[in-house]
Amino acid sequence: MLYIIGLGLADEKDITLRGLEAVKKCEKVYVEAYTSLLSFGVSSDGLSTLEELYGRPVTLADREMVEEKADDILSEARGSDVAFLVVGDPFGATTHTDLVVRAKKFGIRVEVIHNASVMNAVGVCGLQLYRYGETVSIPFFTETWRPDSFYEKILRNRQLGLHTLCLLDIRVKEPSLESLCRGRKCYEPPKFMNIQTAIEQLLEVEQIHGESAYSEESTCVGFARLGSGDQRVVACSMRELMDVDFGAPLHCLVIVGKTHPVEEEMLEFYTIKAQTVEEEMGLHCSL
């Protein structure tokens, strides 16, 4: 049996009881390192927090390993219980359909254990999830590669009055250009797009297309470390967001569409002004 288990958003305590029960009976435990395990206290050096909780060794699986050694993982799952742990939900922002498809083709039973994903946890800002249009990804621009297919999607969402979730680029274990040239594998340090970079790129693309999908004045919500004890959520204009210090990754951004009064009432708590008052009154809290 192959268990694909969502770990949730922040740390080792976000696994569900069902998920933990499954991990504990598995002979082999992998944890995906495609995206980010930053807040899980996991690095390539040690997985000890998770290992302690699960009572068994955990193997870090990067994309390369999953692609190259999928058959090994799956043949283990044929004869015994194997857990594949995934940050967020197994079918959230980063999907793991490929592994499931391969498993099913081998006739291996698969059980999925769900958890929170950035795709639903952004609901905490008060914008209702059913009023979001298509989600977009903002990739890191390079000198020669500046793809902007997100622009048309945001424009469409805005015309329909819908909110847009922007997922910001994550680069983990990218081979360095130098290493590719030399034929040896060396990796760039991990890179996580922050809200400032995302907004700079968004405004650059708006200037090129000029269809007024959004502007510096458009209301947005910035999120950092969503779901963790020190998450930061701020609602204001793009321009104002540029000056907010969101701290460590991961970041994401919502471009606000047409709002209902109940949405506005919640957003109000996340404005810079409201947050300053709260801090002064000693009322600062997770929400």
Measured distance CA(114)–CA(116) in Å, rounded: 7
CB atoms within 10 A of CB 230: 11
| ∠ Cα 149 195 235 (to 5°) | 105
Give whichever of 152 and 188 is closer to a copy of itself, judged by the CB atom: 152
- The answer to the question of residue 277 lying near a copy of itself (CB under 8 A) is no
**Nearer to a copy of itself among residue 181 and residue 285 (C-beta):** 285
Nearest to a copy of itself of 14, 32 (CB atom): 14
162 binds a copy of itself (CB under 8 A): yes
Q: Does 70 bind a copy of itself (CB under 8 A)?
A: no
Site for a copy of itself in 126-145 (CB under 8 A): 126, 128-137
Count of positions on this chain that bind a copy of itself (CB under 8 A): 64
Q: What is the dihedral of CA 139, 140, 145, 149, to 10 degrees?
A: 30
From residue 14 to residue 43, the character string flagging contacts with a copy of itself as x (rule: CB under 8 A) and all else as - is xxxxx-xx----------------------
Alpha helices in 86-234 (DSSP H): 97-105, 118-121, 149-159, 177-182, 195-209
Q: What are the φ and ψ backbone dihedral angles of 237, each rounded to 5 degrees?
A: -75, 160
Per the structure block, which two tokens stand in for 281? 């009154």
Which residue's CB is nearer to a copy of itself, number 18 or number 239? 18
Count of beta carbons in the 10 Å neighbourhood of residue 254? 21
CB of 178 to a copy of itself, least distance (A): 32
Indicate the residue among 215 and 276 with the shorter CB distance to a copy of itself: 276
CA 264 to chain centre: 25
Minimum CB distance to a copy of itself, residue 122 (Å): 8
By beta-carbon proximity to a copy of itself, the closer residue of 94 and 187 is 94
Closest CA to 50 of 9, 94, 11: 11
* Residue among 11 and 206 whose Cβ is closer to a copy of itself: 11
Angle between helical axes of 63-79 and 97-105 (0-180°, round to 10): 30
219 contacts: CB under 8 Å, gap ≥ 6? 235, 236, 237, 256, 267
Q: Does residue 249 belong to the site contacting a copy of itself (CB under 8 A)?
A: no
The CB-of-225 to a copy of itself minimum distance in angstroms stands at 13
> Which stretch, 54-62, 178-186, 236-244, 258-266, contacts a copy of itself (CB under 8 A)?
258-266
Q: What tokens does 34 get?
A: 């495609």
Stretch that binds a copy of itself, among 9-17, 24-32, 61-69, 141-149 (CB under 8 A): 9-17
Q: Which of residues 192-231 bind a copy of itself (CB under 8 A)?
A: 227
Q: For the chain, first and last CA: distance in Å?
A: 39
Residues 25, 68: Cα–Cα separation, whole Å: 26
Tell me which residues touch a copy of itself (CB under 8 A).
6, 8-10, 12-18, 20-21, 89-93, 95, 97-98, 100-101, 104, 107, 109-112, 114-117, 119-121, 123-124, 126, 128-137, 156, 160, 162, 167, 227, 262-263, 265-266, 269, 281, 283, 285-287
